[in-house]
Amino acid sequence: MLKKFITKKHLVLYFIFIAITWLEAIITPTLVSMIIASFEKKILDDLWIALTVGIIGNLFILIGLAGKRYYYAKLVADFTWIMKYKLFEHFLYNKNSKKEDILSNLENDVKQLETSYLEPAVIIISSVGFTIVSIVYALTTNFWLGWIFIFFYSMPALCSGIGSKKLALISEEKATSNQEYLSQTTNIIGGESVIKNYGAMDFFYSLFRRALSKRIDQDIRYEQQRTINNILINSIDAFCSVVPIIIGGIMTYYNYLSGASFVAIYLVSHNIGYQFNELSYFINTYKSSKQLRNRYDFLLQDAIKQTDDLSSTSLFPILVDCVSLSFEDNILFENLSFEIKKGEKIALIGASGCGKSTLLNLIYGQLSPDLGKVTYAGQILNQEQVAKSASYILQDSYIFDGLSLEENITLGESMDNIKMDLILNRVNLEFLKGHLLYGNHLSGGEKQRIEIARSLYHNSDLILADEVKANLDKVNSKQISNILLTLPQTLVEVIHHYDEETLAQYDKVINLSQ
């Protein structure tokens, strides 16, 4: 995952500067050893040499620390950018992705992976290098005492797995609670008007409090478990830190090594101890991210094909042939058959719940019948092929805030000014030309006309309209009807409010209640 989500150049430069900081493992104990040796030998010149070594060495360390911080920020930026754009790419181009999860994935899981995967991964690699340098220094100073320090200070790292499985489970529960909290909050905010209209504030406030409380409880549980794990590991570390110092003191007392060498090994052992402590902590944290990393394994695959090489296909005639469909033991259609000819205007009517919208989804290719088939010009097409020549207009047309009228219509396609002018004139939207749009500044009728303009601009031969006039006043409803019924495109429209005069305007009326 690390290779896929960060730039190789930034990673290499980060580790170059990290390697420079490893000099700290040598410079400080060497400096102190030289000072003590100069006292023992009473040679003042050695103090000046030690001072020079200290100044030059620490300058290199400062450069390493500055580069380390800068390129770590670059790594985080790389990881966040690539992870988020791959997630959003998957959301847009994968038919099975869930829109209710995407915001939580982008804002919660990416941040959690940054802190529980990316940060531990680079720190573990850095600590391993620092530890190796410290170990080499200790062994070259006094081989046997060096091994004693290495043995005791390796124990905390070997025990780093204590509690990691439980922490990993809590980490997964934490990610799930984050998603549930965000989904619940988004759901409540979206239904604000309904909540206030029916005075249901107390009920939904209680739902919000429960979701928030669950999320906070999971955060606390995660930190509690991590603290317990660290207390156990640090207790082992404390014991292992004392034993080699006592052994070193005895060896110095019996003149097996000099005082300067003992102090140098003691200082470098402090580095080893600190690095092993860091390793145990971050290895534990890294392991806790396993389930979250596994969840996003699909992002490591090759890039999703972003555009389908599908040309527009002739749809007509569309034949609904002996179609049967049931939902949860409720039969919606049984042996339903009819034909849609090019240019026809068809009204779908019937009681609420009789399957009008479901029939539109069948025609659009989003659903498959239990029995029978839907053919297009004698062929069976998949949903992507149908969508190339069809548009689906819902009750609430979506407006992309901050985009111009033209951008809301073209949706990224190249701009044909002549075609755009003809369409805007046809749907009576010339007055909005060149304007930036915001959904809350537009009427329902204007939004629906924009949706119709989209279908015309994208050369849709078939327009499926699902109760598009249900939320409009009489004036806007009549305008939308006039536009839809005078278009050359084929229209299949679900209508709820109608009379005989309204139905007479359509070429065919299909009553699903009969």
Q: 3-state SS of 362-399?
A: HHHCCCCCCEEEEEECCECCCHHHHHCCEEEECCCCCC
Q: Residue 20 above 90 pLDDT?
A: yes
Per-residue pLDDT tens for 239-279? 887 888 888 888 888 888 877 787 887 777 777 777 877 77
**Could you give phi then psi for residue 404, rounded to 5 degrees?**
-70, 170
- Partners of residue 6 on adjacent β-strands: none
Question: Which pLDDT value is given to residue 60?
Answer: 92
CA 222 vs CA 172, 226, 227, 244, 372: distances in Å: 10, 6, 9, 34, 53
Per-residue pLDDT tens for 275-305? 877 777 788 788 878 888 887 777 766 555 5
Q: Is the peptide bond before 317 cis (omega within 30 degrees of 0)?
A: yes
Determine the Cα–Cα distance for residues 24 and 270; give it in Å rounded to an integer: 12
Mean pLDDT (whole number) for 323-343: 87
With cut-offs at 50, 70 and 90, classify the pLDDT of residue 160. Answer: low
Fold classification of 2-300 is ABC transporter transmembrane region fold (1.20.1560)
Determine the Cα–Cα distance for residues 274 and 364; give it in Å rounded to an integer: 63
Per-residue pLDDT tens for 23-57? 888 887 888 888 887 777 777 777 788 888 888 98
Per-residue pLDDT tens for 372-406? 999 999 899 888 888 888 988 887 778 888 999 99
Average pLDDT of the chain is 84
- Classify residue 317 as left (phi > 0), alpha (psi -120 to 50) or beta: beta
Q: Residue 176: name the closest of 112, 227, 223, 122 by CA.
A: 112
Question: What homologous superfamily does CATH list for 318-511?
Answer: P-loop containing nucleotide triphosphate hydrolases (3.40.50.300)
Q: Residue 311 above 60 pLDDT?
A: no
- Partners of residue 336 on adjacent β-strands: 323
Per-residue pLDDT tens for 63-122? 999 999 999 999 999 988 988 888 888 777 776 666 656 666 777 788 888 888 888 888
Determine the Cα–Cα distance for residues 224 and 220; give it in Å rounded to an integer: 6
Parse the chain into domains and list their residue ranges.
2-300, 318-511
Question: Which pLDDT value is given to residue 100?
Answer: 58
State the number of CA atoms in the 13 A half-sphere of 460 facing the CB. Answer: 27
Q: Residue 308 above 60 pLDDT?
A: no
State the number of CA atoms in the 13 A half-sphere of 285 facing the CB. Answer: 22
Of the candidate ranges 9-23, 181-195, 340-354, the one whose mean pLDDT is the lowest: 181-195
Question: Which pLDDT value is given to residue 18?
Answer: 92
Cα angle 365, 368, 371; round to 5 = 140
Q: Residue 334 above 80 pLDDT?
A: yes
Determine the Cα–Cα distance for residues 114 and 222; give it in Å rounded to an integer: 16
